[in-house]
Every structure is written in C-alpha cells, then in structure tokens.
Amino acid sequence: MKNLCRFVWNKLFLNILHHLTSSDSIVLHLSAFFMPRYFTRQIPGLNMATRKMNMFEKIANMVGVLYRHQANQFPRRYAILKAVFKHELAPPTGADLPKIKADWMAVEKFVQSGQYKQLSVKEALVYTAVGLEIIFWFFVGEMIGRRYFVGYLVPADYVSKDTHKKAAEEAAKPDTKHGF
C-alpha cells in the first residue's frame, strides 16, 4: 500500500509540474529536487547512477534550468506585455467618452432602481472585488504620488508663507500690553 501511494503521488506530482511548466526538462529537474531518491528512480530519463547531489547543487541546477526556460520565453512575453500595456493603460480618447458616460449612467440606474438586490452572491462578490480594487489602486497611486506611506513628509524647518507673513505683521506692531 505504501509503494502504491508513492507511485500515485509520483504520477500526480509529475502531472502538476508538467502543467505548470509545460517543459519536460524542467519537470525532470524539479522532480529530482523535490522527490526522494527512491521515488525518482521510476522517472524515465533520470540517471540515478551518479552521486547524490546536495541541496545547494539541486537548487543551483533548478535555478539554471528555470532561468534558461524563462530567458527563452522572455521576448514573446515582453511583446505581449507591451501590447497589453499599450492598450489597457492608454488614456481615454474623445471617441471613448460617450461610452464612458453611458456606462456611468447604467451604473447610476442600476443603483437607483435597486437592481443590485437581484444579484447572486457570486456576482455581488465579483462587483465588490472590482470596486475594492479600484479603491485600492487609488490609494496606491496616492502613496506613489506622495512618495511616502502615511502622509506628506514635511521638513522640520519648513515654515509656510502665511506663517512668515503673520510673524512679520506681529513684529511690525508696537507692543501695547506693557505700554512701552
């Protein structure tokens, strides 16, 4: 029973790795790192006659394989990312404004008519998550603009123009309290 469980785990683990990485060479290296020695003997293509690698050698080997795989995929992924950024992060054009206005009116009508009461729990959670994401991105943008998490950093020796003006007026006034 114990060997059967190990065999099933081996197959399940390799299938998960294969779907995650979509590369047989990465699956073999990752499986050699994460599975015990007796477990990896069942994997075709692994030569277990060599000495057992220590943990640091396994990590270095795995990082090298992952790096080479990612380096091969980088140009394609960069082109996709660039196209998405160009399309999604572009400011709205004049042609987009009527659509934005219509969408905003639809949201107002949705809220005013009480149609939100007819939403399923799943739809309500999705809309809530989208709303929270918009709010959180607003706060993140504020933090980026301030370049600080909590509030604006004001130097300790900063004195505003209004304070300078009031101090000059006070200095120009004669002291009437003491009669001098």
Q: pLDDT digit string (tens) for 66-105?
A: 888 888 888 999 999 999 988 888 888 899 999 999 999 9
Residue partners of 66: CB distance under 8 A and separation at least 6: 26
Predicted model pTM: 0.38
Longest dimension (CA), the chain: 104
Q: pLDDT digit string (tens) for 127-158?
A: 999 999 999 999 988 888 887 778 777 777 78
Q: What are phi and psi of 173, to 5 degrees?
A: -70, 140
Q: CA-to-CA distance for 163 and 63, rounded, in angstroms?
A: 59
Q: pLDDT digit string (tens) for 8-65?
A: 555 555 565 555 555 555 545 555 555 544 444 455 555 555 678 888 888 888 888 8
Higher-pLDDT residue of 159 and 80 is: 80
